Structure 1
């Protein structure tokens, strides 16, 4: 049975913003809902309108899928932990005298890399559905590299073991574990 044009237009709107497999699944559900309303005695236009009402506006559907995206959850978590981990490292660098011992390029590159990672996390958290996965993967890899570099620098440059650097190292190690655990899930998510 052919579906009314309004259903095709609805699915075309979703197809421009969601992965093909997701749209196909929604199309199946929408078709079943339409058929249900036809069996209840509604004419094609009424059945289509009732089915679309049940599914909601395309923007609501797209927003719901974006909110459930693993990349969005990872981005929220990394953004929430960022100030704590970053604060530990800032305090460590400033109170231990490690900042001046870092190579000069690190002083310029570190803020740029941090800004890039934060930007990617914001895109994954608030961006369009099709950008969430890519931004989340890039940001997660960036976080791992930043934390691994910080841990390496601490081991190579720290004169002694102290509470603040140990806390910063533990925070980074925990965030690396979180990021590495999230990566496989991000890579298998459809886009």
Structure 2
């Protein structure tokens, strides 16, 4: 490592928070900043403190990696688009008088439970550790995909006639489904910060 106790300690603490390939680059950058400070005439302690200050806290660096990790990003997108898609489906069901459809009660209950489970899993994924975040986002994403597909299929099969909110709800669900299909391979690669 660097040879200065402050930098060695910082890098040791940083290691579990970032992928190893990123850690190597971050360590090199920190050491270059430290050496630059030494070359500028700073004492060793001041050069190390200055380099660490310029670099940022471990929390800042870790947060930046997590916020851009595929699993975190996908869970966030699915959670934040959910209410908009849900409102478009609520408008569809109200306008199409869903209560007159021949929908089995068990199917409606299963859908409600599935929706609740997907939301909980994605919400937990936002706060989970690396490996758990990856798995939870994949599970929640697959659940969202199944829910969107089920909504479209049930509406096409059971709605007595098309209503205007379907022009929003169906494309919104198709867009979310396409997003899930595109993001699942990235999640499946098990990004170290997934």
User: What's the TM-score, normalizing by structure 1?
Assistant: 0.80
Deviation of 1:53 after TM superposition, in Å, equals 0.9
Matched-pair contact (CA < 8 Å) for 1:124–1:136: yes
Unaligned runs of 5+ in 1: none
Matched-pair contact (CA < 8 Å) for 2:96–2:162: no
**Matched residues in 2 for 1:98 and 1:91: separation?**
10
Q: Which residue of 2 aligns with 1:78?
A: 78
The 1:108–1:160 alpha-carbon spacing in structure 2 relative to 1, beyond 3 Å, is same
**Matched residues in 1 for 2:55 and 2:2: separation?**
19
The 1:108–1:181 alpha-carbon spacing in structure 2 relative to 1, beyond 3 Å, is same
Residues paired across the two proteins, number: 190
Deviation of 1:118 after TM superposition, in Å, equals 1.8
**Matched residues in 1 for 2:18 and 2:104: separation?**
45
Q: Which residue of 1 aligns with 2:114?
A: 113
Matched-pair contact (CA < 8 Å) for 2:2–2:31: no
Q: Which residue of 2 aligns with 1:144?
A: 145
Deviation of 1:148 after TM superposition, in Å, equals 0.9
**Matched residues in 1 for 2:128 and 2:33: separation?**
27
**Which segments of structure 1 move beyond 6 Å, counting only runs of 4 or more?**
none
Matched-pair contact (CA < 8 Å) for 1:98–1:158: yes
User: What's the TM-score, normalizing by structure 2?
Assistant: 0.79
Matched-pair contact (CA < 8 Å) for 1:3–1:31: no
**Matched residues in 1 for 2:144 and 2:151: separation?**
10
1:129-168 equivalent positions in 2, closer than 5 A = 130=130, 132-168=133-169
SS in 2 for 1:162: coil
**Matched residues in 1 for 2:65 and 2:6: separation?**
21
Moved more, 1-10 or 28-37: 1-10
Deviation of 1:112 after TM superposition, in Å, equals 2.4
Matched-pair contact (CA < 8 Å) for 1:66–1:129: no
Deviation of 1:47 after TM superposition, in Å, equals 2.2
Unaligned runs of 5+ in 2: none
Q: Which residue of 1 aligns with 2:8?
A: 8
Q: Which residue of 2 aligns with 1:54?
A: 54
